[in-house]
Amino acid sequence: MIGNKSEMDKIIEGTFSEYGYPEDFLAEYDQLECLSGRSGRETFLCKKKGSEELVVAKCFSGAFYDNAVEEPVVREYDVPGIPHFIKSYRNDSYVCVIREYIPGKPLSEVVKERDLTQDEILEICGKLGDILIRLHSQEPQIVHRDIKPENVILKEDGSVFLIDLDIARTVKPEGDSDTYFFGTKGYAPPEQYGFSQTDERADIYSFGVLLRFLITGSIRENKNIKIYRPIEKIITRCTAFSPEKRYPNMKAVKRDLSAINPRSIMLRKIGIGAAVLCVCAAISFGSIRLYQYLTYSPFGEGSVPGYVSDDEMVRQAVAYMEDTYGTDLFQDPDDFATVGFLRTILVELYGFDPDYVWGMNDDMPRESEEFFLPWGFEDSRFLDRDIAVYAAVKLHDPAIVADWSELRDDNGYYPGVRVAEAFAKKNGIMEGVNKPRDITKGETALILYNAELTFSGKDQG
Amino acid sequence: MEKKREVDTDELLRLLFMESSLDNFMTRDNSDILFPSFPDYINSLSDKRGEPPAKIISRANLDKSYGHQIFRGIRHPSRDTVLQLAFGFELDFATTQTLLKIARHTLLHPRVKRDMVIIFCLQHHYSIVETQIALDEYDLPLLGGKGNDRQ
């Protein structure tokens, strides 16, 4: 069946033996993917032969030996928050370091999927700070020197891991300088571009840039973005141009970070209090509406005018969605929308992960971070206004719908939905969509459009 | 919300080959480029071939209902599944890389022995079965085998 076997052997075995990876490494592990292929220091995802154990192998060619400090770091100290060291292989041309594979998402991916709340950011950075304190207190001291969102892995259980230690300190002094261009532009401190010795304050600089990136979405300073003062102070001091003006060590950074927490918690409590008041106000204010809602019948006299949606606004919203996203999903605006339609929008227009959007559980009615619409809704179910509103609010700010714990009258009926609805009423997200059940595609567009206006802070119209 | 620039396949390939190395392409700032969604892309591929998804799915040796879920965008395929689809479409190496890129998986890399066998088989128009035999002869994990996926 395979006529080219000898040609294939020549190409594959021939080329492969030229690379010169240690034989015993290849004998024990199958390479599955090349995660990073910079010549001379490749990173592979591997599987142990005869098992399903995934590992990450970093292979350094001879020129990088002296920088491959990862092995002693991990083996001798086994620092928590750094993937476990498993084994290393060596021959004349390569050293391959095997570490456990950490399943999870790098922060760079997490922030593409959703906005982290300030509390989440502080928690992540606190954990990262602990890892850096442990690294920096090793003898001899270890400096990571490439802290960036891509190298911080967030596991599903919320734990934080720092990966990619291969450019950690101990540079060969006689190495020609361009071989050792280390770090990542934007995150590397000024002194790392030059020749002066870098120490833990290099990591403090990158840590500050990372914190700024998580809070503002940009690695550069932007005067137009207001940052909560105490955090801004920490960022400024971490990223001072001169190392002397930075924090002296990571412990000092951590101390200031921890000091923020109680105040932010207090502020949050006040915020929740305000939200509860809004919900109560909305409920009492809307009791007539509630009555109409409960007694709604399409056949009842006089009920129709109250529930006809504003055609002009719907048309405008559909045009906006089509323009902005170049989509034709709304081309039949008078069709009934389904839950499946809503999910398609979330994936195609807003770029959510299909697994996140389509996943579901039947443990109603709790909200979840695991699934976008956690309840076991079938795709064919007609869409209710409150579910669309929940989605519209959650896609812009998941924190709003997640924080329903203080609802005084929690009766277990989709509490996040009720919070979203209260928020939507207050901010005009429901404006123009007057019927509660079986809304159309056009009305769905209007809700999404209103939500975009609300969250972008622009005026309606 | 700012509108993103949609790049079609040809432009993507041009970008890919204009870059001096794969690394440059992978690490350049792609934030202004909106790739077509994976289901859109494979549906357009099967339109171009004039074959229904069912035919592609059977040639890729994928489970029927799983395959259709991928074409409908309900499930996101693993890297191995994307590679199986490449054989289902009888793609060449370059288009397979594009397919992997759009599916947000790592590209085929000549430093990975298994990838090299797969590249060879794609270039020589092996069927999926022939490819599996070749992988087996080199004692490498078969496509779609257990435990080949991250997460």
Q: Which of B112, B120, B128 to mutate to probe the A interface, most A CBs <10 Å?
A: B112
8 Å CB contact of B114 and A31:
yes
CA distance linking residue A69 with residue A66, whole number of Å: 7
Of A31, A103, A324, the CB nearest to B112: A31
Residue B1's closest chain A neighbor by CA?
A: A324
The residues facing A160 across adjacent strands are A154
- The answer to whether A52 contacts B147, with C-beta atoms less than 8 Å apart, is yes
Task: Report chain B residues whose CB lies below 8 A from the CB of A15.
Answer: 110, 116
B109, B115 Cβ separation under 8 angstroms: yes
Q: What is the ipTM of this complex?
A: 0.78
Question: CA nearest A105: which of A157, A69, A54, A144?
Answer: A157
* Opening angle at CA A142, ends A139 and A147, nearest 5: 160
According to the model, what pLDDT value does residue A228 have? 86
pLDDT at position A265: 56
The whole-number pLDDT of residue A302 equals 35
* Phi-psi sector, A169: left (phi>0), alpha (psi -120 to 50), beta: beta
Res A298: pLDDT? 42
3-class DSSP state for residue A409? coil
Cα A278 versus chain centre, distance: 30
The radius of gyration computed from the CA coordinates of chain B, to the nearest angstrom, equals 15
Q: Does A18 touch chain B (CB under 8 A)?
A: no
Condensed to tens digits (0 to 9), the pLDDT of residues B86-99 reads 999 999 999 999 99
Residue pair A433/A439 in contact (Cβ under 8 Å)? The answer is yes
- The reply to whether residue B106 touches residue A35, judged by beta carbons under 8 angstroms, is yes
Q: Which pLDDT tens digit goes with each residue over A272-302? A: 777 777 776 666 666 656 555 555 444 433 3
Residues in chain B closer than 8 A to A47 (CB atoms): 141, 147-148
Which residues on chain B are in Cβ contact (under 8 Å) with A32? 112, 114, 141, 148
Contacts of residue A5 in chain B, CB cutoff 8 Å? 137
Alpha-carbon distance B77 to B104, whole Å? 10
Question: Is residue B31 pLDDT above 70, yes or no?
Answer: no
* Per-residue model confidence (pLDDT) at position A382: 85
Q: Point out the residue among A11, A47, A326 whose CB comes nearest to the CB of B120.
A: A11
C-alpha A211/C-alpha A208 separation (Å) is 5
Counting as low any pLDDT under 70, the low residues of chain A are 1-4, 63-78, 166-185, 192-198, 261-269, 271, 280-309, 362-366, 405-413, 458-461
Nearest to B133 among A2, A52, A353 (CB): A2
pLDDT in tens, A221-265: 777 777 888 899 999 999 988 888 999 999 999 999 888 865 555
Beta strands in A181-256 (DSSP E): none
CA torsion, ordered B107, A159, A228, A225, to nearest 10 deg: 10
Tokens 């001072």, residue located: A240
Which of A11, A30, A54 lies closest to B114 in CB terms? A30
Q: Which of B40, B74, B81, B105 to mutate to test the interface with A (most CBs of A within 10 A)?
A: B74
* Tokens (6 digits) for A416: 């996040």
pLDDT at residue A118 in the model: 87
Q: Which of A5, A26, A34 to mutate to test the interface with B (most CBs of B within 10 A)?
A: A34
Looking at residue A43, the DSSP 8-state letter turns out to be E
Out of B112, B124, B133, closest to residue A44 by CB = B112
Angle at B142 between CA B92 and CA B110, to 5 degrees: 50
**Position of tokens 């509108």?**
B3
